[in-house]
Amino acid sequence: MLTKLMKYDIRSTWRDFAGIYMAILLGVIIVPLLLNYTNIPIANKLAGIIVASIIIGTIVVTIINLFHIFLKNVYSKQGYLTMTLPVTSGQLVFSKLVVSTMWIVLTGIVSVIGLFIFAFVMNPEANIQFTEIIREIHTVLNGQGYLSAALIILMMTASVVKEIAKLFLACSIGHLKQLSRFKVPVGIASYFACSWLETLLLQGIGKAVSYLPQSDKLIMQFTAISGTGQWQDFIGVFNGVVCAGILFALFVAFAYSVGTVWILNHKLDLD
């Protein structure tokens, strides 16, 4: 049933995201062609403004669609039908968390591809420059840094999962019956309060680590390695830090999801 629920979430949202992707790809092709054809002196500045507008617009529309995936399907009239499905609240949250993460990752990939297309259409010589950059990166990594690249991608994905789970929890807190008159401000305040608690938790973990044996020596070695710029010596420590960040993000996302499930099970208040 969980698989069917995820398929339903994808089917109910794919049109919105398909429209975003089409708009991005058409914009990054048509706009630079028009700028090159008109030969405007400030074409480069206009290109920068357009790129910034595309990025901001994509972020805004993506957040709106995330609200559509969770808020409307759970806390609106559709919620009456959703909550009658033979699935647990945990499966419901997990499905929407996975589907939301999938759409954000795909949106990021399409946006990056769109920016490259934009650069190539504006300046065909950028293709040669991009190829040189790829070669330099390959030389620096020297076959040993690809694990770090994969861990960074996993870190970014885990951070996305954490932020979505935080958004779901903030929406759920805003729909508590006792706070129903102030849904929007309570939801926004809850989101920032969770972010503040994350900061406190990180500070607490950092302080606890500082009391570990040989912690001062390890910090000095880490600083010395990073200062020399010797990638081969730095990469092992860097991978360890990134792995710790991934575990932290997944732990916090799990905690947020548990809070959302608890509210759905005990404090659900549909409109």
Q: What residue segments make up the domains of the chain, in order of their start?
A: 1-141, 142-271
Helix 146-174 with 231-266: angle, nearest 10 deg: 20
Q: Is the pLDDT assigned to residue 236 strictly greater than 60?
A: yes
User: What pLDDT sits at residue 131?
Assistant: 63
Mean model confidence pLDDT for the chain: 76
The C-alpha atoms of residue 260 and residue 89 are separated, in whole angstroms, by: 9
User: What pLDDT sits at residue 255?
Assistant: 94
The C-alpha atoms of residue 16 and residue 56 are separated, in whole angstroms, by: 17
CA distances for 197 relative to 35, 132, 251, 255, 256, angstroms: 47, 43, 13, 12, 12
**Measured on CA atoms in the order 145, 151, 153, 155, is the torsion positive or negative?**
negative
Say how many CA atoms lie within 13 Å of 269 toward its Cβ. 13
pLDDT in tens, 26-82: 777 777 777 666 666 666 667 667 777 777 777 777 777 777 777 777 777 666 666
User: What pLDDT sits at residue 14?
Assistant: 79
The C-alpha atoms of residue 86 and residue 2 are separated, in whole angstroms, by: 9
Q: 25 near 117, Cβ under 8 Å?
A: yes
Q: How confident is the model at residue 117 (pLDDT cuts 50, 70, 90)?
A: confident
User: What pLDDT sits at residue 252?
Assistant: 93
DSSP 8-state symbol, 150: H
Q: Is the pLDDT assigned to residue 226 strictly greater than 80?
A: no
Which has more confidence, 146 or 105? 105
**Is the pTM here over 0.85, yes or no?**
no
pLDDT in tens, 121-180: 776 665 555 566 666 666 655 555 677 778 888 999 999 899 999 988 988 888 787 776
Give the pLDDT mean for 216-231.
57
